[in-house]
Structures are given as C-alpha cells and as structure tokens.
A and B are shown apart, each in its own frame.
Chain A
C-alpha cells in the first residue's frame, strides 16, 4: 500500500514538472498557429520590410514598428545598462554591508512598481519636460527610452550584482595583495570574472525593454512611422499589438498575432543568449 502511494506521488510529480515547459510550448504553438499562416499569406518579406501599416486597406508592413522598437530598446540600454552596472558594482564593492542591506531591497522595489505607473509618470512629468526643453510632442523615442531605461534597472542590477557577488573573494584578495587599489581590483579582476553574468543581465534587460507594453503605449506617442529624431513619436511592436487588439478581427487580428510571432522569436533568441552566457560561469544561476 505504502509503496503504491510512493509510485503515485512520483508519477504525479513527474507530470507536474512539465507544467512550465508545456506552457511555454503551448504559448509558442498558439501564437504561431494564429500568426504564422498570415505571414506566409502576406509574404514574410513584405510583412517585415514594407513600411505601410493600414489594416483597413490590407497593408500590413511592420517595418516602422521594428525600427521603432529597436531604437527605443537601444535607447533604454544606453541609460539602463551603465546606471545599473555602476549601481551593482558600487553596492557590492564599495558600499558597507549594513548600507547595502538597506539599499538593495529598496532598489528591488523598483521592479515591483507597476509598469502603468511608470508610463503615467512619463506622461505627467517627462513628456512635458521634453516638450518644453527639446521640442516635439514630448511623447517620443526619448521619453520611452528614459522610462524603459529606469524600468530595466532592477534586472540589470540584481543579475549583475549576483554575478559580482559570485566572484570568489580570493580573487580580490590576490589583487589587493599585489598592491592594486580597490578600483583596480574591481575593473581588472572582479569585472573580468563576472563579465558573462553582467552581459547576461544586459541582454535580459533588452528582452524586458523590447517586450514592455503598457508603459510604452503611454509615453511613445504611437504614431506609425520611422523616427528621424529622438523627439519623434513612435509606435513599437508591443504597442501595436495592444492598441489594436481590442477591435481587430479577421486578417487584422492575425496580423497582430504575426507581430507577436516576431516579438516572441526575437525575445527567445535574446533569452537563449543570456542563459548560455550565465551558464558560462560554472553553472551558477
């Protein structure tokens, strides 16, 4: 009887263990099933590289959205990556332990702030500032980049910080014993040892920025066009999906799922790169 219960437990757990992987596959299958046939119908090249998006008359080019997403993500990285990596180094290497215990969870709070709140602040504070000081409508590539740059900070900080924390202390001691200053030991030894983890944090943050939706809808302006200045309004891939989803039917809806396919593929590639970079340092996650 007892042995029987044991077998049942193991059987159930084995099935349950597949829940995450199965969900991932289910998501992939359904997004592709809805979006991929459409891409073939319109032509993958036309879908990706035509620059007119007008579903009412059957024009489904997402090129401007791809470019906009890239600009905004790149801008976010320009802000989020240096700030986040600097924060992670400072907290791990220069901040006294007790202070770090207060500052780290405080910064992690950033991750908990709902994305809509970031978006709203972008609209109320950042966009007017850009409008008066730099011109343009305010809602722009720049506004979206700044907001996303701040939003990805917790990702960059916590993963970089783990990587830096995982560097054995003997490395630092070795450097210091050779007469290096604290900073020399950091940039010549610690950062080299933690490099793959730091790179992974930036790539994961790119995925976050690329995939963020609600905050971007609120601050990016949502005009479908290729931006020529950082103060131009743009519409990203994610914003395109969310904006048109509620009243799209038929072909138009399939087009949105096809946009989802593009997003899904790019983000999975970014994740795979980041995960393998993290595996690079001794399998520690």
Chain B
C-alpha cells in the first residue's frame, strides 16, 4: 500500500507546525503567567526599598543593585580577555593545531554546567584565594562562564569585517595592531556589543554559580569584597524556602522583564549589524 506523497506532505506540515506552535505557546504562557501573577506586586516602593523579614515584606533594592553590579563587573573582566582571544584567533594566526586547541577549549568551556562553575568558584576564589563570598568572587566566576559567548560573537564580528578594509589600512602604512585598533575593532563593535549583551543576559539569570560565590547577603554592597544577592538568587530563596510567594512572583516579573529587554537589545543590535554589513 502506497500513501500518496501529497497526503504525507500535508500531514508533515500539520505535525511540524503543531510542534512549533506548541513551543511558542509554552513560551508565551511562561511569560504571561509570571507577569500576570507578578506585575501587580511591582510598585515603585517594591523596587526602591530594602527587604524586611528576609524578604517576606519590603522590596528588592539591594538585589536590584547586585543584579546590575555583578554582570557588569563580570563583563568588565571577560571583555578584554574575550575580544583579545578573538583578535588573536582571527588577525594574528592561521588555522593550526594551537588555534584548534584554543577553539576546542572555548567550546568545552561553553558546555560546562553552571553548578561546576559554582563548585570551582567556591573552592578557588572563595576558599583558596580567601576572598570569601563576595561581588568579586561572583564576578570572576561569571566572567569565565560568559567568556565563550564573548569570544564566539567577537570572532564572528571580526571575521565579517571585509578584508578590503584591512588591505587599505596596510597600504597606508599601518601596522597590524594599528589596523586592529583603528579599523577592525570599530567595524566589529556592534557584533561585539551583541555578545556583551548576551553575556549580561546569561549572568542576570544565573543562580547556581552565583549563590556559591557571591553569597546571598541582603545588605547593600559597599565594595567588591561585600557579599551580594542577585534577583535570581533572591527569587530562588523566596520560592524554595516558601518565604513569600507574592514577593517571589513580583521578583520573577522584574527578572523576566529585565531578561526580555536585554534580549531585545541584543537582537536589535545584531539586526542593525547584519543590515549594515549586507549593504
């Protein structure tokens, strides 16, 4: 018995379409559910006042500050390393066993789960280097975590800079480094920024690696050696220890909104970059 190809075609489109639709519906449901439950609790007071009673009442101000500071510090550490690696791989070497090893290292690092980063950050930064649970320990751990993202996006951005640009620069007598600094990097900047924004997004949502390195103090951090609690960690503690579902939902809503905004920023950046390149 032969099934007519036209029929399998329609059936396939139906099944595949339904699967895609299901994915989109789940996504919309997650975001809508959190926003509907959480948004009523998000008031100016909630955002601008410190928590009371371990978060049972009051706001989330210090965790908001932690959520801004920790990713920024992590990016400040990872950016020069990541862009430097990308420049080295694209501008200073050809494909050889060494670059293959470096790329393999980057790819493997990208696949390591965050709990392993947490274990490592705890034993290395917190215990061995005696830094304790603090902003800096957390930022260093997160920096290693987002490094692969920064390397990859920077490498792609640098590769997409047309070779003619470099040739013109060389023909004007510029050295390789001058060319990198004045021609390649400025032209690759939007792509690099996209990587940075993606890295920030990942850091904002991270919990396992942060809770064991930056700690979970609810006090306002005054230096990089103070423990901080990010919104993700705060939300986890509120939800897991059943401290307050209401505040957990509200925190989740703020978290989701931040992540969506960060992703939109990355996407529009990437779009502009591609549009500019294809001109």
Contact = CB atoms under 8 A, between A and B. Distances in A.
Interface in B98-112: 101-102, 104-109, 111-112
Given A2-B175, A16-B88, A115 B34 contact: no
13 contacts: A6-B177, A13-B84, A24-B108, A113-B256, A116-B252, A117-B34, A117-B252, A181-B6, A183-B5, A183-B9, A183-B13, A256-B119, A271-B108
A31 interface: yes
Contact of B119 (A109, A241, A246): A241
Contacts of A20: 81, 85, 102, 105-106, 109, 147-148, 151
A31 B116 contact: yes
A86 interface: yes
B112 A116 contact: no
A89 interface: yes
A42 B240 CA distance: 32
Given A21-B102, A91-B20, A213 B113 contact: yes
A39 B25 CA distance: 45
Grouping DSSP codes into helix (H, G, I), strand (E, B) and loop, the B interface class, with mixed when no group exceeds half, is helix
B232 to A, nearest CB: 5
Interface stretch (A50-58, A127-135, A261-269): A261-269
A241 B115 contact: yes
Contacts of A24: 105, 108-109, 112
B147 A218 contact: no
Interface of B: 5-6, 8-9, 12-13, 15-17, 19-20, 22-24, 26-27, 30-31, 33-34, 80-82, 84-85, 87-89, 92, 101-102, 104-109, 111-120, 122-124, 128, 144, 147-148, 151, 175-177, 180, 201-202, 204-208, 211-212, 232, 235-236, 239-240, 245, 248, 252, 255-256, 259-260, 262-263, 267
A208 to B, nearest CB: 8
3 shortest A-B CB distances, which residue pairs?
Answer: A211-B113, A21-B105, A114-B205
B208 A107 contact: no
B252 A120 contact: yes
Given A114-B205, A117-B256, A238-B115, A17 B12 contact: no
A30 B120 CA distance: 7
A82 B20 CA distance: 11
A125 interface: yes
Given A211-B116, A260-B116, A264-B116, A157 B259 contact: no
Contact of A109 (B106, B232, B252, B260): B260
B208 A242 contact: yes
Nearest to B235: A116
Given A115-B205, A157-B23, A211-B116, 6 more contacts: A14-B88, A20-B85, A30-B123, A112-B262, A184-B9, A242-B208
A76 interface: no
A17 B259 contact: no
A120 B84 contact: no
Contacts of A245: 118-119, 122, 212
A105 interface: yes
B5 A264 contact: no
Interface in A108-124: 108-110, 112-121, 123-124
**Size bin of chain A's contact surface:** 35 or more
A121 B44 CA distance: 25
B108 A115 contact: no
A112 B105 contact: no
Contacts of A157: 23
A115 B114 CA distance: 11
Nearest to A209: B113
A260 B92 CA distance: 37
B115 A242 contact: yes
B30 A211 contact: no
A216 to B, nearest CB: 10
A254 to B, nearest CB: 11
A257 B208 CA distance: 15
Contacts of A272: 108
A9 B120 CA distance: 31
A107 B23 contact: yes
Nearest to B181: A9
B239 A211 contact: no
A31 B119 contact: yes
A97 interface: no
Contacts of B82: 19
A275 B239 CA distance: 37
A118 to B, nearest CB: 7
A216 B125 CA distance: 26
B147 A207 contact: no
Contact of A16 (B34, B80, B105): B80
Nearest to A10: B92
Contacts of B240: 217-218
A90 B17 contact: yes
A182 interface: yes
B236 A271 contact: no
B236 A116 contact: yes
Which of B116, B212, B239, B256: most chain A CB closer than 10 A? B116
A16 B212 CA distance: 27
A31 B17 CA distance: 44
